[in-house]
Amino acid sequence: MKFLCVECDRQMQFEERQLPGDGTLAAAFRCPTCGRVVALLTNPMETQLVASLGVKIGGTTLPPQPMETVRGMVATGKPDAFEDEGERGAGSSTVWSSEAQERLARVPNFVRGMVKRIYLDYARDRGIAEITPAVMDMARTELGLEGM
Amino acid sequence: MSLNIRTYRDLTDADRSGLADQIGAQRRRVATRLATVRRVVAVLSGKGGVGKSFVTAGLARALARSGRAAGVLDADFNGPTAPTLLNLPVARCSFRDDAIEPAVSPEGVRCFSMALLLEDGRPLAFRGPDTEGFVWRGALEAAALREFLADVAWGALDELLVDLPPGVQRFQELSELLPVAPAVLAVTIPTPESRDAVRRALRAAIDRKATPLGLVENMVGGPFAGSAAEELAAEFGIPVLARVPFHPGEAVWENVVSKLGRSL
């Protein structure tokens, strides 16, 4: 999938991605010559189809997590299918605000360990000391974590 | 006046999405993980209910007893049975580096199955839109197969047996994901109906450059009449490795391992 600014005859460059949380996706592309921006808007079915391929519009920003598609997509997984990996490889002093903890608790058990680790790695890599709902929102948009 | 628009392949600027590169990275991850697996053997039939999983488990256990490092990837995501057939212990999946440890049977067969992940008695269901599920469900199952191949710490194996569901779709997904075409073990029951379905599946496998190792005829000596295995063996020029009665002893599987000998 590529976008062409026909007027400038230039390939447009990915600018940013937004996940409103309703299953839709918006991805903006900018023409490097004239600066015009267009947005690709996908409906939930289209968003799901892209996610099913295990790829991300705008590129991946995280190393692959083991079975990330299965864990992110299976709705009937056992809550205790996986050991808790929240602390795996962490070793940081990052703390969770109570609001962020509440929000994390709403993530299904089956995928919670992976989600927790992704947020911890995101915070650690950016020197963020406390994970708040705002940090989670930022990470979701930046990393393309639909539904997390 | 029509616009003179350059097309997809004309645009060669660096693309941050790099969707093709992401797909390529997925394939490389599969190849890297399976670099320590000597051979992948797809157990297929094309026909449901002929005992593919039963044959897979019997063969895997016999391989392990003979001292070979055997694994089972249960690719029947909607009807997974490998954990029960292999007597796998009930335990949480644990992690090793960037992968998930397979479960290990008492005989030493390494196995991964959707049954290890699903709630008891619940079907495989995916999160997503309520409508048009047929559009993306197949892609998600193919992604699950890719992750079962790439994200399980299979380690060094002599044989990784892939227990396929009925039909040929999962086999096609498997052969597209693997760096080299798999070997194939076909399972049939004696009936003409099974023969016809297995013929199509074997033909599909051969069309994809798979190497057929032979046939196992299951449920022999019971109510099912016919000579499916003999006919298919003659047609495809492959051996009948076993004719398995109801309630076979372990010697049946050890005989298959022995017959496969050098080819496995």
- The ipTM of this complex is 0.89
pLDDT, tens only, A33-72: 999 999 999 998 888 888 888 888 887 777 788 999 999 8
Q: How many CB atoms lie within 10 A of CB B216?
A: 29
For A6, name the nearest residue in chain B, comparing CA atoms only.
B5
Give residues with Cβ within 8 angstroms of B2, minimum separation 6: none
Give the pairing of strands B103-104 and B110-113. Answer: antiparallel
Domains of chain B: 38-263 (3.40.50.300)
Tokens standing for residue A80: 């205790």
Asked if the C-beta of A101 comes within 8 angstroms of chain B's C-beta atoms, the answer is no
B209 phi-psi bin (left φ>0, alpha ψ -120 to 50, beta other): left
Q: Which helix (H) or strand (E) holds B59?
A: helix B52-65
pLDDT, tens only, B158-168: 999 999 999 99
pLDDT, tens only, B219-239: 999 899 889 999 999 999 999
Asked if the C-beta of A56 comes within 8 angstroms of chain B's C-beta atoms, the answer is yes
Which of B9, B33, B126 would you mutate first to test chain A, the one with the most A CBs within 10 A? B126
Asked whether B188 and B215 are in contact (CB, 8 A), the reply is yes
Supply the pTM of this predicted model: 0.89
Shared domain check, A48 and A114:
no
Shared domain check, A69 and A90:
yes
Shared domain check, A72 and A41:
no
Shared domain check, A50 and A2:
yes
Task: Mark yes or no for CB contact B95/A66 under 8 Å.
Answer: yes
Shared domain check, A41 and A81:
no
Shared domain check, A31 and A2:
yes
Shared domain check, A65 and A47:
no
Q: What is the domain count for chain A?
A: 2
Chain A CB contacts of B6 below 8 Å: 4, 9
CATH number of the domain bearing residue A9: 2.20.25
Shared domain check, A117 and A44:
no
Identify the domain containing residue A128 by its residue range. 60-148
Among all chains, which residue has been given the structure tokens 């055997």? B70
Asked whether A36 and A5 are in contact (CB, 8 A), the reply is yes
